[in-house]
Chains A and B, each alone.
Chain A
Amino acid sequence: MRSWGNLAFAAAREVVRLPSRSACLPAGRPLLAWGNGRSYGDVCVNGGGTTIHTRSLDRFMAFDAASGRLRVESGVLLSEILDLVTPQGWFLPVTPGTRFVTVGGAIANDVHGKNHHREGTFGRHVVGFELLRSEGERLYCSATENPEFFAATIGGLGLTGLITWAEIDLRRVSSLSIIQRQERFHGLRQFFDLNHQAELDSEHTVAWIDCLAAQPRGIMISGNHAENEDSSPRPARALNIPLTLPFSVVNRATLSAFNNAYFHRPLAQGPGPYGPFLYPLDGILHWNRLHGRAGFFQYQCVLPGGEAPLAEFLQTIAASGEGSFLAVLKTFGDVASPGMLSFPMPGSDLAFDFPNRGATTLRLFDRLDAIVAAAGGRLYAAKDARMPAALFRSGYPGLERFTQFVDPAFSSSFWRRVMEQQ
């Protein structure tokens, strides 16, 4: 069983596809929904249990093109929503770095995007959804109806039952092109200055970091939807990595060469289609295969406390010589999520891919964990494959309350791992 990180996990005993949203849950236990398999670790894996494939729940239910309210089944992909609504002047209010995730997955992981400082998480734009519980009960959950189940299910890692359909509010855009701005920075002081200005000026902000540089350096990227410019996005042909390589092409030499070239490349400025800006990796299908058969870990955490913990964190990675092309830094805003277990909180959000080199990689993670814990931060469950139970518990103060809403028939390899360790 492999999720997006290509790490090996115990396989499910049984895989079931629901014929429609009105169908009953399968009999096997424990249950867990699997959307489009874009979670990196074991949060979407149910070793030895029953996996419910939700991609068969891919129907649109209603769309009010005047108000932008959309009702869809939970297996619909964000890319399918964009295909439908962008020609009518609507866009997703919040989108993660890949559009190949299901609506159910976006809710269960309460995904965030480059506009977190303005719009918060995906869950903030969810009006309501139907939650199918294992006793057969169908709960409509919203901020006012079954509000506790609503809060538990947003960011609830699929553990509160099966989301069969959801209603979300889209946002109007006057153009599908995004005017972007890129600037190099040297040092964290400069990053924070640029980032502060970018958050004031721009809806979307994110920075790429050279994770091997002794002195942190990178590129600050920001962008806004164009006001009137009507450039329809060019449908680009996606590259595909057709097979998993036997070894990772990511090593210190390739990484250092790539990072140098990337840092010094001519910076992109001005208007362009939204796809390459919001979803740079979607242009390379199965890019996860570049990390080889052993797979890779993504380490994504949020670090409150400003510059000091961030500097320590980056130094630790640079000194290890591990890391990847994908090294992303963004600051979260203080727009609160409705979810009990939502990942974003004010602070610096860092995401790094690390090829799986076994014990050395895991030892590095232990050092990073200590920095995260000391700063009062947390790790992102959607990306995790190894965090210790103690860090999960300390990072998520809502955990105790959340457990009351877990469906007794639902579980995941992630959940058993972090709950049984203690």
Chain B
Amino acid sequence: MKSILIIGATSAIAEHCARLWATEGAKLFLVGRNAERLAMIADDLRVRGQAHGVQAATFVMDATDTASHQAMLDAALAHLGKLDAALIAHGTLPDQKACEASVDMTLAEIAGNGLSVIALAARLANVFERQGSGCLAAIGSVAGDRGRQSNYTYGAAKALVDRFFEGLRNRLAPKDVSVLLIKPGFVDTPMTAAFDKGGPLWATPDRVAREIVAAMASGKQVLYTPWFWRWILLIIRHIPERIFVRLKL
């Protein structure tokens, strides 16, 4: 039975990952801000994994409150025993225009999408290093691959996580710990509720979750999901800066 910690467990992508793990009979520790929604999700997972003896515990925490991270981690380890995998999935999609009008908002978004993830990953990396096994994964974004005028605050926070994970991967490779950064493209979730969902680029959280669960099991290092974003971003990253600055992206 796998023991898995999910931070930001009420996010649609994380919830769909948890559903897949539940049907494998995993032992789950779900962390999120909203106690009521966590309880609903835990009930759902228990029913889905009932035939496989799934266990799901919940813990209420605001991920930006870094002072509470250690207590959460202690509770998770007490419940799970060992840690086979951790998925950091919390985040918010800021309004770039609003960030431009408010430095405080810009910094808050960097703290929520970047610093809090790094704070959690730093602690988790030490746990995995001591164990000498496991998989540390976080949901980044294709937006972290290049700064674009439409969402560079979000992109900068995700890029921060990207580089930090690169370093962790380098450090933990000899310890048999895999470090995965997930870069989803457009996913039809409550986070993107305001967007028009037409077109072939939009994916369902269920599809993205299936790819994440498979990538975490296989020890992959970077996952673009769905797969075609790897090629789209390959092109976008290679557009020369003097051309890129003129693009309305």
Q: B44 at the A/B interface (Cβ < 8 Å)?
A: yes
Residues of A close to B123: CB separation below 8 A: none
Q: B48 at the A/B interface (Cβ < 8 Å)?
A: yes
Q: B241 at the A/B interface (Cβ < 8 Å)?
A: no
- In the assembled complex, the CB of A134 is this many whole angstroms from the nearest CB of chain B, namely 22
Q: Are A63 and B47 in contact (CB under 8 A)?
A: yes
Q: A249 at the A/B interface (Cβ < 8 Å)?
A: no
- In the assembled complex, the CB of B2 is this many whole angstroms from the nearest CB of chain A, namely 20
Residue ID in chain B nearest A72 by CB atoms? B47
- In the assembled complex, the CB of B208 is this many whole angstroms from the nearest CB of chain A, namely 16
Residue ID in chain B nearest A70 by CB atoms? B47
Residue ID in chain A nearest B12 by CB atoms? A56
Q: A62 at the A/B interface (Cβ < 8 Å)?
A: yes
Q: Are A84 and B48 in contact (CB under 8 A)?
A: yes
Docked pose: A163 CA to B63 CA in angstroms: 33
- In the assembled complex, the CB of B204 is this many whole angstroms from the nearest CB of chain A, namely 11
Cross-chain contact of A63 among B36, B40, B41, B50 (Cβ < 8 A) = B50
Docked pose: A95 CA to B33 CA in angstroms: 38
Q: Are B51 and A59 in contact (CB under 8 A)?
A: no
Q: B37 at the A/B interface (Cβ < 8 Å)?
A: yes
Size range of the chain B interface in the assembly: 10 to 19
Per-residue CB proximity of B43-59 to A under 8 Å, as 1/0? 11001101100000000
Interface SS, B side = helix
Cross-chain contact of A19 among B44, B47, B190 (Cβ < 8 A) = B190
Cross-chain contact of A60 among B36, B44, B51 (Cβ < 8 A) = B44
Residues of A close to B51: CB separation below 8 A: 65, 87-88
Q: A243 at the A/B interface (Cβ < 8 Å)?
A: no
- In the assembled complex, the CB of A12 is this many whole angstroms from the nearest CB of chain B, namely 15
A-side interface residues, number (CB < 8 Å):
15
Per-residue CB proximity of A180-211 to B under 8 Å, as 1/0? 00000000000000000000000000000000
Q: B101 at the A/B interface (Cβ < 8 Å)?
A: no
Q: A2 at the A/B interface (Cβ < 8 Å)?
A: no
Docked pose: A63 CA to B44 CA in angstroms: 10
Q: Are B40 and A21 in contact (CB under 8 A)?
A: yes
Residues of A close to B37: CB separation below 8 A: 19-20
Residues of B close to A422: CB separation below 8 A: none
Q: A61 at the A/B interface (Cβ < 8 Å)?
A: yes
Cross-chain contact of A62 among B36, B41, B43, B190 (Cβ < 8 A) = B43
Residues of A close to B36: CB separation below 8 A: 20, 22
Give the interface of B toward A (CB within 8 A): 36-37, 40-41, 43-44, 47-48, 50-51, 190, 193
Report 30 cross-chain contacts, Cβ distance below 8 Å, ordered by A residue: A17-B190, A17-B193, A19-B37, A19-B190, A20-B36, A20-B37, A20-B40, A21-B40, A22-B36, A22-B40, A56-B190, A59-B40, A59-B41, A59-B43, A59-B44, A60-B43, A60-B44, A60-B47, A60-B48, A61-B43, A61-B44, A61-B47, A62-B43, A62-B47, A63-B47, A63-B50, A65-B51, A84-B47, A84-B48, A87-B51
A-B pairs, 5 with minimum CB distance: A60-B47, A59-B44, A63-B47, A60-B44, A61-B43
Give the interface of A toward B (CB within 8 A): 17, 19-22, 56, 59-63, 65, 84, 87-88
